[in-house]
Amino acid sequence: MPLCSMKDLLKRADASGYAVGSFSVANMECIQGVLQAAETLRSPVILQIAEIRLPCSPLYLIGPMMMAAARQASVPVAVHLDHGKTMDCIREALDLGFTSVMCDASHLPIEENMRFAEKTVRLAEKYGAAVEAEVGQIGRGEDGAEQKEVIAGVDDALRMDGTGIDALAVGIGNAHGLYAQAPHLRYDVLDQLYGRIRSALVLHGGSGLSDEQYRHLIRCGMRKMNIATDLFRAQAQACSGEDIFTNIKNSSQAVSGIVARNIRLFGSEGKA
């Protein structure tokens, strides 16, 4: 199965009313666990890594591993840079063959956010890659640091959609990491956007939501669901013994179990 475009995966998901899981990885064990579940359940998936994770998992090492795993998979796999903050990192991911990149300037005024997105789209077009951007601001950063939550404005989302991006993450009361309490998600924002924008809608901060919240989000048009914290916690909890090879096996199996549950919940099982 060839390496796939995220744009194509999300278009197919929209046509059939399901979502594709975009699973954050940090090491070989996590990559293996994601693909084991995807191949068993015959589901398309997205492998992703955020720029902020690269001090622990350098892109020049983990990027080729992600690409090799995707090329060897028997199901459609896209490889994605999550929360790309710098053009240098975005360019490096594209040079490695990533099929999509996220340009995240959501903390800046909308005009600057749009300029960063437009610049990224122009660059990504040379590689045939898709682009994701973000509007509003998601509570708590990818590194767990607290940040002000900003609900996405519909007008800003429509303007960002006009930059040529392929996917749009929207702040609707979601947050990275673990939720201290059940979040109040603004489905009304999605209702105003779905069908009016060409970009696929993306949810960040998926770990910890209820099954019904996921189902509601999919009904509102969410087509890409990002999962990170649940995977990292499962890996950490699985590694308790002194034998490194047992830890590797247990770590992959723990990730596979989380991914399999999400694939079934998102409705992508059997869609490969």
**Please, are residues 28 and 39 in contact by the beta-carbon 8 Å criterion?**
no
Domains contained in the chain, number = 1
| Domain CATH for 217 | 3.20.20.70
Q: Is the pLDDT of residue 181 over 90?
A: no
Q: Is residue 272 part of a domain?
A: no
CA separation, residue 171 to residues 87, 100, 140, 209 (Å): 23, 20, 11, 15
The domain in which residue 244 lies consists of 6-266
Query: Which residue, 96, 108, 109, is CA-closest to 69?
Result: 96
Q: Is the pLDDT of residue 23 over 50?
A: yes
Return the structure tokens found at 76. Answer: 């459609």
pLDDT of residue 182: 62
Query: Which residue, 33, 91, 98, is CA-closest to 63?
Result: 98
Q: How confident is the model at residue 171 (pLDDT cuts 50, 70, 90)?
A: confident
Q: What percent of the chain has pLDDT over 70?
A: 92
Q: Is residue 110 part of a domain?
A: yes
Catalytic residue numbers read 82
Q: Is residue 52 part of a domain?
A: yes
Q: Is the pLDDT of residue 180 over 70?
A: no
Q: Is residue 271 part of a domain?
A: no
Q: Is residue 218 part of a domain?
A: yes
pLDDT of residue 109: 92
Q: How confident is the model at residue 140 (pLDDT cuts 50, 70, 90)?
A: very low
Q: Is residue 76 part of a domain?
A: yes
Q: Is the pLDDT of residue 61 over 90?
A: yes
**Total-model pTM:** 0.93
* Cα–Cα distance, 138 to 150 (Å, whole number): 7
Q: Is residue 107 part of a domain?
A: yes
Quick one: average pLDDT of 96-122?
96
Which residue reads 């090879």 in tokens? 245
Q: Is residue 108 part of a domain?
A: yes
Q: Is the pLDDT of residue 147 over 70?
A: no
Question: pLDDT tens digits, residue range 193-246?
Answer: 999 999 999 999 877 788 999 999 999 999 999 999 999 999 999 998 789 999
